[in-house]
Homo-oligomer: A and B are copies of this chain.
Amino acid sequence: MSTRPREQAQPLLIVGSMAFDDLDLPSEKARDVVGGSATYASLAASLFAPARIVAVVGQDFPDAALISLRERGVDTAGVERAKGKTFRWWGRYADNLGSRETLDTQLNVFADFRPILPDAFKDSPYVMLGNIHPALQLEVLAQVRSPRLVVADTMNFWIEGERKLLGEVLAKLDLLVINDEELRQLAGIHNIRRAAAAVRRLGPKKLVVKRGEYGALLFDDNGTFFAPAYPLDGEIDPTGAGDTFAGALLGYLANVGEIDTANVKRAMMMAATVASFCVEDVGTRRVERLTRQELAWRLDELRQLVHFQA
């Protein structure tokens, strides 16, 4: 599963949120942690391909965070700095990290976000639509000239209220990445296999279902594939692990270029590996200091986890 250097891969575009997260974790209360789906996803994607990010931040957002992204190969030319405060989320995790509750959400500048792509981003062959209003997702797609692969990740907020627009987005997707509860809600079917079949009929030929610590399932025309999660022994902060998974998945696909079932399987194994690192420290810290060697070693462990001689 060797990958080429990032610079040799085609660029990918990620639209989503950038945020300050206040995290009440069992290990600490972390404040003003730079997060948001676009932050996590682009950092993970940039391990494999040049990532372009479209998002909005407020005047309170530190330049240092954008510089840090750029140093890791993320093009932040699409990050708009708007008047007001950055999107902020406050969450409290259970002692065992198995569940969390939202204590506060302040949309701030994210409430009026209208994603505008810099001209240089409009040729992006790989596109990930993060968890923003489906009308905005459609606006983003309208600005991209001829994408090779359109992926959406997570759409929980819009399943109830924006069914029709969501349907328009689904029809334009090549790959939908979604967690299992969203899938059930979207399909109105509890059984994962039947829910997946129903959602695939709405558009995305390929569907990746994220199940957190229980791994991820792929459903496509060639059948079903399961990528396990890496069994960690020291979870610190699960925030952003799903975004990290999706970003690494798209990054790997942009790196290899050929979007077939075999590569999506490999991309899922890689994505599960990168996501496992995300959970090992607060925010993006662990992925920021991740080395190629660490990634290769753990990927090999993950492969061994499901390996047996029949």
Contacts and interface: CB of A to CB of B under 8 A. Distances in A.
Interface of A: 1, 95-96, 98, 190-194, 211, 214-215, 217, 223-226, 228, 231-235, 262, 265-266, 269, 303-310
B231 A193 contact: yes
Contact of A305 (B192, B225, B305): B225
A124 B239 CA distance: 51
A191 B223 CA distance: 32
Copies in the complex: 2
A118 to B, nearest CB: 37
Which of A225, A226, A262 has the largest number of chain B CB atoms within 10 A? A226
A213 B194 CA distance: 15
A231 B190 contact: no
A226 B306 CA distance: 5
A50 to B, nearest CB: 25
A281 to B, nearest CB: 16
A266 B231 contact: no
Contact of A308 (B96, B214, B262): B262
Contacts of A215: 214-215, 228
A303 B310 contact: yes
Please provide the 6 A-B residue pairs with the shortest distance between their CB atoms, ordered closest to farther. A265-B308, A96-B190, A193-B233, A214-B214, A306-B306, A226-B228
A262 B308 CA distance: 7
Contacts of A265: 308
Contact of A225 (B1, B98, B226, B308): B308
A190 B304 CA distance: 24
Given A226-B306, A266-B308, 15 more contacts: A95-B190, A96-B190, A98-B190, A192-B231, A214-B214, A214-B215, A215-B228, A224-B231, A225-B308, A228-B306, A262-B308, A262-B309, A265-B308, A266-B309, A266-B310
Contacts of A95: 190
B225 A191 contact: no
Nearest to A268: B308
Contacts of A223: 304
Nearest to A299: B310
B217 A214 contact: no
A308 B233 contact: no
Nearest to A235: B191
A262 B307 CA distance: 10
Contacts of A1: 310
A308 B192 CA distance: 21
A197 to B, nearest CB: 8
Given A190-B96, A233-B194, A225 B266 contact: no
